[in-house]
Structure 1
Amino acid sequence: MNEDGYLSAVLGSAMLDAGAAGLSGLDDLAMYAEGGLPARVVDMIPDTAVSRGVEITGDDRVRGELDRLKALPALADAWRWARLTGGGAIVIVAKDGRSLREPLDLEGLVQLLELKVFTLDDVSATEKRYSDPNEANYGMPELYRVRTQAAGVPSAEFLVHESRLIEVPGDPLPAKLNRKGIPWAGRPAVTRAFRAIRRYGEGLRWSLRLLEKKQQAVHKMKGLAEAIEAQLEDVVRKRVEMVDAVRNALNGVAVDSEDDYQVLSTDMSGVKDALAEFQVAVASESGYPVTSLFGRSAAGLNATGDGDLEGFYNTVAMGREVKINPALERVVSLIRAQRGLERQGKGQGEAWSISWPALKPATAKETAEVRKVNAEAEAREMDALSAAVDNGLSPEQAFAYMKENGRYGLIPNPSGQSAKSYAAET
């Protein structure tokens, strides 16, 4: 039997394209560029981390500068590239009278102009490294080579001094596996998640094929083999297509008395459960709850999904402390070291700190309960402080204690490093 003739006669243009690759033929960057589930896995943690802003307590001058520089979007972008490629870098473009390849001049820092974000793939370390074994930066790169890429513009490279680069590291990686020579280079956080997404995509593709072929028509024709041998494939194909064209739920199918025509229904049981397990695998590899990643409702009796959200928020908060806070501290210290803000602060090292709002906004009832508990705790503390004064603690000592802890509107005495010295150290 001529196999090609059989395929042409019976399957024709309806033959499935078995070579369709789907997501399996794309690399990680291409998958991310297509958006959808791969982009959601990369973006959801960084975007959630900065979604409610940040407060710099102790220095109200910084907030406007963070907005001007678009610092939070830059930090989120650097973190997302760290999750995708193993590291992100923010290059500081500053007005300090020096070029990018020279150390940042904190004494001459007039203004920060821009924060430009690059992926680890765009950054490489040069051979110029710190060589003093007595310093903490011994062996660290002093200069980095950064490659720029833009649509319609040829790629170009420039050198940047490490004092003008703020890194957001990837996930931990053993030093012997770090082949880029960059100390803060790590592993991508989504490699295994993307593999699970590819498997999930394959599952969706095959389930769609099963659905397309859920009702399979079987047409038994007398003399089919002889017709194919006689190269009458077109006649056979026309006969099959005529039957398929008239078949629907409202009419019957007429065939020759010696022919037979049946419609076989494929069992679809188990497909839904298999796809659900693929979703669980994607969520497990990416560190997200299934309810958040796929928009599914929590399952089970009295299930609210609060536990899933709490676990997700804990993951975001932990990553924010490790990935964003060190970079944000560096940005804030440089903002405060600018000539204009330094003069406003008279060069003092005011105490300041980074304060992130809660990822889950509290309800009015929860806020009232927290205020009640705090008020009761402060009342007990004041009773204890009054008792201490009655038993020998001087009023001056009690006042100093309340001021040191910022109670009742008292402002603690300024302490700490100057903005320039802190920026230099960080």
Structure 2
Amino acid sequence: MANIIAFVRDSLTNMVANLGTSRDKAAASFYSMPILADEDLLNAYRGAWLPRKIVDIPAFDSMRAWRDWQAKKPQIEAIEAEEKRLNLKGKLLETRIKARLWGGAAMVIGTGDQDLTQPLDAERVGKGGLKYLTVMTRRQLTAGEIDRDPASEWFGKPKLYQIRSAEGMQVDIHPSRLVIFNGNPPPDDEIVTTTYAGWGDSVLLSVVDAIKQADGTAANIASLVFEAKVNVIRIPDFMQNLGDERYRAKILERYTLAATAKGINGDLLLDKEEEYEQKQASFATLPEVLMSFLQIVSGAADIPATRLLGQSPAGMNATGESDLRNYYDRLQAMQTVEMTPAMARLDECIIRSALGSRDPDVYYEWAPLWGMSEKEKADVFKTKADAARQLVGTTPGQEIIPRDAVSDALVNTLVEDGSLPGLDAAIEEHGKLSEQEPSEEELAAAAAAQAANENQPARNKQAANDAAPRTLYVRRDVINRAEIVRWAKEQGFTDVVPDLHVTIAYSRTLVDWFEMGESWSPRLEIAAGGPRQMEGLGPDGKYKALLITASELVWRHRAMIEAGASWDWPEYQPHISIQIGGNIDLSKVEPYQGKIILGPEIFEELRED
């Protein structure tokens, strides 16, 4: 008989603590592909808030500001009308969401062509040539054979996509007729690890473990709430008598009665031999533990916690602003690198379908995702205006850049960034600076005045340039007063202020008026809409005022403060006082939403009234 030798290997395995086993809690030295079937993705998206937000938020944020077309005004209006007719924003948002959830989706560009297997020629699209945009997911679009020709535009991509109709017919579509988006693109097309070849992975695939850990932690904390306080009662000879059925019934009856009595009186009746103790769970560090797991989810999804969780950041001097800026910078890069190339053919078709031809000067830029505050807008406006003044100087004929060129460029800038709403309409009504050239007599008078000023003695020039300091009150009167009065009476105001105006400066400090500068325009038109609010101002709220916003007013106020003027209030809020006194309920007043036209700045000394 052969000898059998047995080897015993001591691996320090503990089946109770799971040490050294396949369930070792510390084991994390290998990676495996998470398996998420379509049903799992659907259930996660529809039944849990974290997966849904991770899918939806970047798709929505990348489109919420949309894009700004750069072209002539009629061209922009036609293109935007075409986008609205096709519901482009809605279809693109649907495509982006489904691509992130399922791993891939596409928009079919419908031009009415019969043979969809041929490449789409955008130059053949005429006015109204775009018929429809249809969104399909990778579940409906099957990728065909991969193009392996290195010289092909579609190298590494499917040559065709197939759609199977409800009747069982198969329709082939050339990829140029699709606006294709993937969730997470695969690192190598040769390695196919999904059922749907030619498409990417769901964005939930790489974050599902972090989501489950966060959800599991939250669920365990929720369960712990029910165990927050446990009453422990020690009964003599409890285990010894537990086998007696009558004893068990008496025990249940006894402590049911005790619990009822405690619930009514707050006291617990016990035998002298019994002992009572309360065990309470501590929740002191649980919020930090849960937040740590949610922070991991935030990092895995590449979405700031302030955006994902919808809460303000904690900690000293924490604002979350830098995180959001980085997030928006990433989205803008996504717009440039991913969305713009994917939509290139569609955009060419939209331009031709809207205009009938392709103007080479027409293009678009993605609108900034980070919005500036009113103070930041006012600072930018002031910087641009000061730079323009430096370029044109103060003396005609001695400009660094021709005044007309600076004026036209500045007008375009202010219209595009929205600094002066309604400026383009005002320019059309009143004309450009180049159309309001001074006459030869005015130029000659200006030159003579300059020569006379240069020949004055220094003390005379100082006397001419300096003015006696005085208190200062600056306002702009409302020109279209009748429209606002009509609105005010409809809202129940009975004693409307006769001189509707906006105050810009109220300086008790004596200042040189000529140091205050001047407004860019003697007429300011604030376009309809925008933030409007009714509020009671003053110590007792007796001034019933319409709060408005206008960068020009904020900039002029700041310019005067910087020049030495004082202001009695903590901040400056442009407003129009509608009525002084009265018992009108402002919460029931619908703020005036029409346009507001203001006249030139009027300088006065302060009056006690």
1:185 paired residue number: 199
Select 2:89's aligned residue among 69, 72, 80: 72
* Aligned equivalent of 1:112, options 130, 133, 146: 130
* Gap change, CA 1:37 and 1:131, over 3 Å in 2: closer
Give, in angstroms, the shift of residue 189 of structure 1: 2.9
Q: Which amino acid aligns with 2:214?
A: Y
Instruction: Provide the residue aligned with 1:8 in structure 2.
Output: none
Question: Which fold has the larger relative contact order, with Cα–Cα distance below 8 Å and residues 6 or more apart in sequence?
Answer: 1
Q: Give the alignment of 1:15-94 within 5 angstroms.
A: 27-58=40-71, 59-60=75-76, 61-94=78-111
CA distance in 1, matches of 2:234, 2:169: 66
Gaps of 5+ in 1: 1-23, 411-426
1:357 and 2:367 aligned: yes
In the alignment, the residues of structure 1 paired with residue 371 and residue 151 of structure 2 have an alpha-carbon distance, to the nearest angstrom, of 48
SS in 2 for 1:27: helix
Provide the secondary structure at the position in 2 that maps to 1:374.
helix
Letter of the 1:55 counterpart: D
For each residue in 1:114-133, what CA deviation from the matched residue of structure 2 results, as whole angstroms up to 9, or x when unmatched?
Answer: 22223334432123x65766
Q: Which has the higher helix share?
A: 1
Say if 2:326 is the partner of 1:308.
Answer: no
Letter in 2 for 1:49: S
User: Matched residues in 1 for 2:320 and 2:389: separation?
Assistant: 36
What residue in structure 2 maps to residue 251 of structure 1?
A: 266
The AA in structure 2 aligned to 1:66 is E
253-262 vs 240-249, which deviates more? 240-249
Q: Quick one: structure 1 residues 194 and 180, their matched pair in 2 at CA, closer, same or farther if it must change by over 3 Å? A: closer
Alignment of 1:219-238 (within 5 A): 219-231=233-245, 236-238=251-253
Q: Is the 8 A contact 1:169 1:184 kept in 2?
A: no
Contact 1:103 1:162 in 2 (8 A): yes
Matched, 1:173 2:186: yes
TM-score, L = length of structure 1: 0.72
In 2: Cα distance, 1:315 partner to 1:277 partner = 23
Question: What displacement does 1:247 show?
Answer: 3.3
Whether the 8 Å contact between 1:141 and 1:182 is mirrored in structure 2 is: no
Whether 1:288 aligns to 2:288 is no
Matched to 2:274, the amino acid is: D
Matches within 5 A, 1:135-284: 135-138=152-155, 140-146=157-163, 158-175=171-188, 176-179=190-193, 185-231=199-245, 236-248=251-263, 250-284=265-299
2: CA distance between counterparts of 1:272 and 1:284?
18
1:155-183 superposed Cα distances (whole Å, 9 cap, x missing partner)? 99643332221111333432143446989
- What is the Cα deviation at residue 303 of structure 1? 2.8
What is the rounded CA distance, in whole Å, between the counterparts of 1:133 and 1:192 in structure 2? 31
Asked if 2 retains the 8 angstrom alpha-carbon contact of 1:214 and 1:267, the reply is yes
Any conservation in 1 of the 2:391–2:400 contact (CA below 8 Å)?
A: no
- Structure 2 residue aligned with 1:297: 312
- Aligned partners of 1:192, 1:138: CA distance in 2, in Å? 27
Kindly indicate whether the alpha-carbon contact (under 8 Å) linking 2:125 and 2:352 is maintained by their aligned counterparts in 1. no
**1:335 positional shift:** 1.6
1:336-375 map, 5 Å: 336-338=351-353, 341-342=355-356, 347-375=357-385
Q: Which amino acid aligns with 1:37?
A: L
Q: 1:161 to 1:312 in 2, by over 3 A?
A: same
Unmatched segments (≥5 aa) in structure 2: 1-35, 413-609
Distance 1:108 1:136, change over 3 A: closer
CA displacement at 1:235 relative to structure 2 = 5.2
| Distance apart, 1:112 and its partner CA | 2.0
**CA drift at 1:138:** 4.6
Distance in 1 between residues matched to 2:202 and 2:308, nearest whole Å: 19
Compute the displacement of 1:41 (Å).
Answer: 1.6
> Post-superposition shift, 1:271?
1.3
Shift of 1:333: 0.8
Instruction: Identify if the C-alpha distance between structure 1 residues 190 and 367 changes in structure 2 by more than 3 Å, giving closer, same or farther.
Output: same
- Residue 334 in 1 paired to residue 349 in 2? yes
CA-based RMSD of the aligned residues comes to 3.8
Of 356-365 and 62-71, the range deviating more from structure 2: 356-365
Match for residue 20 of structure 1?
none
Partner of 1:126: 144
* Paired letter, 1:324: M
Cα shift at 1:277 = 1.0
Q: Structure 1 126/186 Cα, relative in aligned 2: closer, same or farther at 3 Å?
A: closer
Quick check: 82-91 or 236-245, which moved more? 236-245
Query: What is the aligned partner in structure 2 of residue 413 from structure 1?
Result: none
Task: Determine which structure has more spread, i.e. the larger CA radius of gyration.
Answer: 2
How many residue pairs match? The answer is 364
User: 2:89 & 2:48 partners in 1: Cα distance?
Assistant: 22
